[in-house]
Structure 1
Amino acid sequence: MRKILVVDDENKIREFICFFLNKEGYETVEASNGSEALDLMKNENFDLVILDLMMPIMNGFETCLELRKFSSIPVIMLTAVEGENDHIRGYDVGVDDYITKPFKMKILMAKINRILGKSLQGFEQYDSLKINPSSMEVMVLDQMIELAPKEFDLLYYLISNKNIVLTRDQILDRVWGFDFEGGTRVVDNHIKKLRNKLQPFSDKIKTVIGHGYKLEV
């Protein structure tokens, strides 16, 4: 079930949105301000955030700017005023879409369904990791991870052969090519880099002593 975080300082608006989202099969969590929302997003996985612009403690712009430091989760911002400058500023800090109050739930639902469908298009999921072979994007716990091309190739080869023990020579031939002049040490070095970058998913990359590596998912 997809989980959506609804952030607004007005209780009635949060309850109204959550009521309809629950009817549509979404799980919802509420937050009354930006600071509370950021704490929740650091400790839980969400598929989308509905974020009010005008809030005490932290407004929507400030909240989204902080959020983008650790997550690429889609954000729909609620605003009471239809303003071009606000929209431009919002897109600059990472907002995906806007809806103006008062709004119709049918319109909000259409935006939610469009963004969620787009955000996961092309991604394959393995436990806490999502990978898009076409765009070479990788996410762990919904946070985008930057991988070098060979790191991505190595990860995708491990995923394509999940739960199979692969020797260093097999990995070297398939990822670096049979004419690569370096030794198998390059495989160990890249496995180490992947483990450092993919935490906590990195625990799935197992060393099989005397043989090679295996991705267990």
Structure 2
Amino acid sequence: MLKKVLIIEDEKNLASVLYDTLCDEFSVVKAFDGEEGLRKFYETSPDIVLLDINLPKIIGWDICSEIRKISEIPIIIMTARDSDIDEYKGLKLGADDYITKPFNLKILTLKIKKLLKMEGNNSYRFENLLFDCKKGELNINGEIAELTRREIQFLEFMFKNKGLIFSREKLLNEVWGFDFEGDDRVVDTLVRRIRKKLGDYSYLLKTVRGMGYQLDENKN
């Protein structure tokens, strides 16, 4: 499954160049203003965001702050502003890196790959639970739970989007694929199986009535 990059950039020529550069190695989504960028963030659940600052409708600072309220995915600030104050502000708001325009596309690509391979992105740890996304391995209290390929894909998606609520339809598209023609109740069946394997941590996968499912660390 290709990692998904969301580009939020109002300079359409630059957005197109970035798309052409990255599309061979990543699944790429583009947005040309802040409002569209936030909407596509919620709709597509990207693995990383490339974020311009001077955007129409909603500026990059506010988008960065909004994303950080609900997600820890990597954010790279792309801007023509080169002052230390702006870089400090971006990092303080939760951005993972900062690159000044004009930039080298190869360097940007390396930054993206480096962030997507960070340990925090490839594994999820909570108390005595460890899920290694790369190995597809679920370790609970020192014991390894056997997972199917679909269970691994589902857990990776949910752990990387902790706190967000997803409908059955959205989960079908992300885990089974857009061409899946079965009933969306297969999601419920999968969740029941995974909860059983999570054991004492089954409460992490919550059912949100009328909306779908959410991975949430609160026991309530």
* In structure 2, C-alpha distance between the alignment counterparts of 1:90 and 1:101, rounded to whole Å: 15
Q: Equivalent residue of 1:30, what SS?
A: strand
Q: CA deviation digits over 1:40-65, x for unaligned, max 9? A: 11122211110101111111111111
Provide the residue aligned with 1:8 in structure 2: 9
- Separation of aligned partners in 2, 1:163 and 1:70: 23
- Paired residue type of 1:200: Y
Residues 7, 30 of structure 1: 8 Å contact kept: yes
Q: Retained in 2: the 8 A contact 1:45–1:142?
A: no
**Could you tell me which residue of structure 2 aligns to residue 184 of structure 1?**
none
In structure 2, do the counterparts of structure 1 residues 11 and 141 end up closer, same or farther at CA, with 3 Å as the change threshold? Answer: farther
Q: 1:111 to 1:35 in 2, by over 3 A?
A: same
Q: Secondary structure of 1:120's match?
A: helix
Are 1:45 and 1:141, in contact at CA under 8 Å, matched by a contact in 2?
no
C-alpha distance after superposition, 1:124-170 (max 9, x if no partner): 2523323xxxxxxxx7263335xxxxxxxxxxxxxxxx77978xxxx
Residues 59-85 of structure 1: CA distance to partner in whole angstroms, max 9, x if unpaired? 111111111122221111101021111
Deviation at 1:37, TM superposition (A): 1.1
Show the 5 A alignment for 1:1-80: 1-23=2-24, 25-80=25-80
The match for 2:155 among 129, 132, 145 is: 129
Larger mean CA deviation between 75-84 and 115-124 belongs to: 115-124
Task: Please say if 1:200 is aligned against 2:213.
Answer: yes
Distance (Å, rounded) in 2 between the aligned partners of 1:71 and 1:94: 10
TM norm structure 1: 0.63
Paired residue total: 155
Q: Which letter maps to 2:89? A: R
Tell me if structure 2 keeps the 8 A contact 1:129–1:201.
no
Give distance in 2, aligned partners of 1:51 and 1:194.
Answer: 31
Higher Rg of the two aligned structures: 1
Q: Structure 1 residue runs of 4+, over 4 Å off? A: 162-166
| SS of the residue 1:69 aligns to | helix
Amino acid at match of 1:8: E
1:143 matched to 2:161? The reply is: yes
Residue by residue over 1:172-209, the C-alpha shift from the partner in whole angstroms, topping out at 9 and shown as x without a partner, is xxx6xxxxxxxxxxxxxx74x4343796267xxxxxxx
**Equivalent position amino acid for 1:65 in 2:** S
| Aligned residues of 1:128 and 1:201 also touching (Cα < 8 A) | no
Which residue identity is paired with 1:58?
I
Q: 2-side partners of 1:164 and 1:6: how far apart?
A: 35
Identical positions, percent: 29
RMSD: 2.7
Contact 2:51–2:77 (CA under 8 A) maintained in structure 1: yes
Output the CA distance in 1 between the equivalents of 2:9 and 2:194.
Answer: 44
Corresponding residue number in structure 2 for 1:115: 115
Cα deviation code 1:81-113 (max 9, x no counterpart): 211111111112110101100011011011011
Check conservation: 2:5, 2:50, Cα contact below 8 A.
yes
Cα contact 2:53–2:60 (8 A) shared by 1: yes
Structure-1 separation of matches of 2:47 and 2:92: 21
